[in-house]
Amino acid sequence: MLEYFLGSYIITIVGLIGAYLWGEHVHSGSGLACVFIAIVLGILEISLSFDNAVVNAMKLEKMSHKWRTRFLTWGIIIAVFGMRFLFPILVVSIFAKLSMLEVANIALTNADKYAYYLHQTHAPIVTFGGMFLIMLFLNYFFDHKKETHWIKYIEAPLSHLDHIKGIEIVISLFMLLVTQNFVPVEQKLHVMIAGISGIITYLLIDGFTHYLEKHEEMRLAKCATGAAGCTGLVSFLYLELIDASFSLDGVLGAFALSKDIIIISIGLAIGAMFVRSLTIMLVEKKTLKQFLYLEHGAHWAIGALACLMLVSTVKEIPEAVTGGIGLAFILAALFSSIMHNKKMERLLAEGKTEEENA
């Protein structure tokens, strides 16, 4: 167990020391309070990301050891500095019509003003992430080749819908139209642009991944090695986008605990590292193969999270609700998997007994 989480423990120790020093630098005597907030934010990130870990593990199973390592090293840098720090600044910069340097300066020197700007851009941010995750959810269940079903009376009919070409795009656009109908007039265009961007981003990444995987399987003499490298890179980018979509809710929710972007980044970095370590453990221990319905539960959690993100454009959703629903799906799927395994063991034992009696 330690081998999987050693990096997470190191990041935690370094991060908490950094939080203490930053707190003392900003306001003498506030170091311990900043450490406490960073710990709470880390726990929040982990509790919101169990489904993220399972989905990431599904993709990582097909990747080489080299790219799994890069997922922990390069990936954590992108996840923390890119998605938890730079991405919100970029979005605020676009919608507030300020340069990124101005927004970064506001984030570091005027936390209240930055939180205000971020709140103003909440709807477009969560709409982008919500539509990306809706596409991920629908594409998983709309698959006639999918033979294993957890909630059979729902999943079996859904699996046949992929015969209707583009149905997941139609459903996603319909949900986007419904969502923008409820947001304030001044945000309608921004929400539509963000939502369509989320759909297009998913289609580009998913389509390019399938294209490269197909060519890799063909194993053409000259391109076999190059294709594998490209597929690893695209899969890596795909994972980072999934992580980004999952993290949007956590980044925005973190401002309820602190308005200091540095403390928020440290806290979410600690959580993100533990989630990535958990993902690697799931892959190395082949947990998804041991628990048949775990990936189903993760995708139901994704669907629920995506819907809650769209609802949050007009009504605030507590993080406890978001994380609780996702965790409930994961635990229910885990329980169902354990029961399935016991049933298979019992049937196997009964079969052996019958053979011995014969």
- Categorize the per-residue pLDDT at 349 as very low, low, confident or very high, splitting at 50, 70 and 90: confident
Residue 117 to residues 102, 185, 264, 286, Cα–Cα distance (Å):
12, 18, 16, 43
What local confidence, expressed as pLDDT, does residue 229 receive?
Answer: 52
Q: What is the pLDDT of residue 252?
A: 65
Mean pLDDT of 35-50: 82
Between these two residues, 253 and 177, which has the higher pLDDT value? 177
pTM: 0.76
Binned at pLDDT 50, 70 and 90, residue 169 comes out as very high
More confident residue, 99 or 56: 99
Give the mean pLDDT of 293-300.
Answer: 88
The answer to whether residues 267 and 40 touch, using CB atoms and an 8 Å cutoff, is: yes
Q: How confident is the model at residue 170 (pLDDT cuts 50, 70, 90)?
A: very high
Region 264-291 average pLDDT: 84
Helix axes 319-357, 50-60, angle to 10 degrees: 50
What is the rounded distance in angstroms from the CA atom of residue 45 to the CA atom of residue 48? 5
The domain ranges of the chain are: 2-357
**Which pLDDT band, with edges at 50, 70 and 90, does 220 fall under?**
very low
- Segment 272-276 shows an average pLDDT of 87
Average pLDDT over residues 232-236: 75
Q: Which token pair is 33?
A: 């309070």
What Cα–Cα distance (Å) separates residue 344 from each residue in 296, 332, 347, 350?
A: 19, 18, 5, 10
In terms of Cβ atoms closer than 10 Å to its own Cβ (0-12, 13-18, 19+), residue 346 is exposed
Is pLDDT above 70 for 219?
A: no
Q: How many CB atoms lie within 10 A of CB 88?
A: 24
Is 221's pLDDT higher than 50?
Answer: no
Q: Report the range of poorest mean pLDDT among 73-77, 241-245, 255-259, 322-326.
A: 255-259
Average pLDDT over residues 224-252: 67
User: Does residue 1 have a pLDDT over 70?
Assistant: no
User: Using CA atoms, how far apart are residues 336 and 89, in angstroms rounded to an integer?
Assistant: 42
Residue 38 burial (C-beta neighbours within 10 Å; 0-12, 13-18, 19+): buried
Name the token pair of 2. Answer: 């330690």
C-alpha span between 219 and 186 (Å, rounded): 52
Residue 125: alpha-carbon gap to chain centroid: 14
What pLDDT does 225 receive?
47
Q: Please indicate whether residue 209 or residue 341 has the higher confidence score (pLDDT).
A: 341
Give the model's pLDDT for residue 256. 63
Of 193 and 261, which is predicted with more confidence?
Answer: 193
**What are the tens digits of pLDDT across the range 18-31?**
999 998 988 888 88
* pLDDT averaged over every residue in the chain: 82
To 5 degrees, how large is the angle CA 183–CA 304–CA 46?
105
The Cα–Cα gap between 46 and 152 comes to: 29
The H or E element spanning position 341 is: helix 319-357
- Sorting pLDDT into bands at 50, 70 and 90, what band is 176? very high
pLDDT per residue over 122-143, tens digit each? Answer: 888 889 888 988 998 999 899 8
Does residue 282 surpass a pLDDT of 50? Answer: yes
Mean pLDDT of all residues in 315-337: 84
Burial class (CB in 10 A: 0-12, 13-18, 19+), 11: buried
- pLDDT exceeds 80 at position 165: yes
